[in-house]
A = this chain, B = another copy of it.
Amino acid sequence: MNCKDLGKEVHMRRAIYLAKKAWGETHCNPMVGSVIIDKYNKIVSEGYHKRSGYPHAEILALERSKASKIDPSELTLFVTLEPCSSHGRTGACTNAIINSGIKKVVIGSLDPNPLHSGAGVEILRTAGIQVTCGILELECRDLNFIYNHWILYNRPLCAIKLAMTIDGCMAAYSGNSKWITNSEARQDVMLWRRLFPAIAVTQNTLLSDNPRLTSRIENSSDVRVSCSRRFILNRTLKDLETYSNYAVFNDEFREKTTVVYGEKVDPGRLNIFENMGISGWEISENANGLSIKDYLLRLRDSNINGVYIEPGARLATQLIKDGLVDYLFCYQAPKLMLDNKAASLGFNRMSESMEESFTLFDLRRINFGEDSLIRGFLKNN
């Protein structure tokens, strides 16, 4: 890292900031931001990708730079993601850049698709453009961890959210878990609920908390409420009689709620949901209940590239054990519950060594007052 790169980081950070303006709204496309500066490091124009089907970030920045009347050869374009080199709905960005006359391009992270990764850079360089890569690469990559996983593996990123004490307790023995973490940490959950195109909980969560599963983000002056697709996992659709009481079936976003049930469901129970106008997905069952693997396939077929599951200890253990969790959000409070009968992860696996643990990688840590979030990909062992 030299001083020149530090200067570039400032503009790349601005591009990331711009990309995040479309937080959660670009699926199945990535979030991308772009900044164009003149030879005095002054910003000439900006752009970000608003949603699928809308112009790409660098195209917007290029268009807007024209008003400046500055000779394009004096401009430098920053973009958080390698420009596309294939003709999609919007035309290849590499062509647009070459045609613009810009001679310097700075890129955050490369295209995650191994088949295309570096192709855009190559095309630009062949056209005589000076390309710098890898500025704030980790941040730029992290911005699209859902998208990248989707592109790499052609299946949705399955993330789970846990909150626990440092001794691993997810609730008191009584089941009470309000609250493990502070309000700042709980507010952070809202950001991820907004980012993911789908959220899933079991009926137990519905029964105990009656959550709305919306994302409520409070600014100084207003509250912005949004709602991703909401999935209620309930093999038998039992406890139906009370379902009409729950927020997710009654609020203004009710058409975003889907019940996910097993193949042996009672048709009568299913009928109640159909009459309520609530959509349903039938998936296969296995010894542990609903086949989450099947659910994830169904998400893929519905073009939903990531799901944020808020599971209890039992489901979380099952999912991790079965190798179905790609990403973990673990909120931690600096507390010791010291209750070995309280809800916590684990089954009687009788592990032999620490090598048998499931390890997080590409870690990100952030503190919320005394609490913290550690998040990362899960390496299934």
A179 in complex: contacting residue of B166, B172, B354, CB < 8 Å? B354
Q: Are A356 and B172 in contact (CB under 8 A)?
A: yes
Give every chain B residue within 8 A of A218 (Cβ-Cβ).
none
Give every chain B residue within 8 A of A336 (Cβ-Cβ).
320, 328, 345, 357-360, 378
Give every chain B residue within 8 A of A226 (Cβ-Cβ).
none
Q: Are B335 and A359 in contact (CB under 8 A)?
A: yes
Tally A residues with Cβ within 8 Å of B.
56
Beta-carbon nearest neighbor of A177 in chain B: B354
Q: Are A352 and B317 in contact (CB under 8 A)?
A: no
Q: How far is the CA of A353 from the CA of B378 in the complex (A)?
A: 30
Beta-carbon nearest neighbor of A372 in chain B: B365
Q: How far is the CA of A167 from the CA of B354 in the complex (A)?
A: 13
Give every chain B residue within 8 A of A374 (Cβ-Cβ).
166, 334
Give every chain B residue within 8 A of A87 (Cβ-Cβ).
none
Q: Are A335 and B357 in contact (CB under 8 A)?
A: yes
Q: How far is the CA of A169 from the CA of B317 in the complex (A)?
A: 14
* Given known contacts A335-B354, A336-B345, A167 and B164 CB-to-CB distance under 8 angstroms: yes
Kindly provide the distance from the CB of A321 to the nearest chain B CB, expressed in whole angstroms: 6
Q: Are A350 and B177 in contact (CB under 8 A)?
A: no
Could you jot down 24 A-B contacts, CB within 8 Å?
A: A165-B357, A166-B168, A172-B353, A173-B352, A174-B351, A174-B352, A174-B353, A178-B353, A328-B336, A334-B376, A335-B357, A335-B358, A336-B345, A336-B359, A337-B358, A338-B347, A339-B347, A339-B351, A340-B344, A340-B348, A341-B346, A341-B348, A341-B349, A342-B351
Query: 3 smallest A-B Cβ distances: which pairs?
Result: A168-B168, A340-B346, A335-B357
